[in-house]
Structure 1
């Protein structure tokens, strides 16, 4: 019995190691993010549209709608830089006036990449299925603490 338990533990560790196999930080390894995604967050409806990988990058637009009106937009990119990936974005009011200065971006460097997860510093993409993903974003609250906001998206 003790031997069987040891074998099961080794098999379990082996399966977990395979599930968490690190992938090369190439844009093609996150192609599953591409598509039109819809969800809810911040008390409203969200829409995020990601392009297919090309030329070492992907681009996206994000829109938050509250009470039938756009609250804000984002333009996002993920690109290959120095043998890794970086996610960068800019925020815009509903009239396209930017939050960041002209040359400023909000940057999220890649920490870890597996078959079903892209972990950037402050933002994580998690593939649930080909038609569902979660995005977790670290957002500072009024107290200066970090809250993790979860976006559950369904692909259209």
Structure 2
């Protein structure tokens, strides 16, 4: 699969919940990849930062994620980002292992995150900003 299938995600997005706000920006480059930087905060306090990449590798896509606290201390091991392979792609949904991106319109998307240990689905609606 080509990175072009994810082109609609490029840009800045925001999700506002009861307590937390998420802002993230996805950029695309000419190296068959995309990257995002996200901040998750509650009122004026940063809870965490997240850096993501989606890369074309051997005919498929790989999503990599690293989390950092508000002092930029990594949550994951030094050389061990979360590595989430592509499961399948549909017209408006891209399924990675545990993460699904759904295009709900030109300026709306939903991210579904399967969390463990209870296999709950966290639903995060975003609007383009």
- TM superposition score category, shorter chain reference: over 0.9
Residue 65 in structure 1 maps to residue 41 in structure 2: yes
For residues 123 and 41 of structure 1, what CA distance do their matches in structure 2 show? 19
The change in CA–CA distance for 1:118 and 1:53 in structure 2 (over 3 A counts) is farther
Q: Which residue of structure 1 aligns with residue 126 of structure 2?
A: 153
Q: Which has the higher strand share?
A: 2
> Which of residues 27, 40, 50 in structure 2 aligns to 1:51?
27
Q: 5+ unaligned residues in a row in structure 1: which ranges?
A: 1-24
Say if 2:4 is the partner of 1:33: no
**Structure (1 or 2) with the larger CA radius of gyration:** 1
| Structure 2 spans left out of the alignment, 5+ residues | none
Q: Distance in 1 between matches of 2:32 and 2:88?
A: 18
Q: Decide which of 55, 60, 72 is 1:96's aligned counterpart.
A: 72
SS at match of 1:30: helix
* Residue deviations 1:91-112 (CA, integer Å, cap 9, x gap): 0000101011110010111011
2-structure distance, mates of 1:74, 1:82: 25
Match of 1:51, SS state, is strand
The alpha-carbon deviation at position 88 of structure 1 amounts to 0.4
Alignment of 1:79 with 2:55, yes or no, is: yes
TM-score w.r.t. the length of structure 2 is 0.94
| 1:106 correspondence with 2:64 | no
Task: Give 4+ residue runs of structure 1 displaced > 4 Å after superposition.
Answer: none
2:14 counterpart SS class = strand
CA shift at 1:54, angstroms?
Answer: 2.6
1:73 offset after TM fit, Å?
Answer: 0.5
Shift of 1:114: 2.1
Structure in which a larger fraction of residues adopt helix = 1
Q: TM-score, normalised by structure 1?
A: 0.79
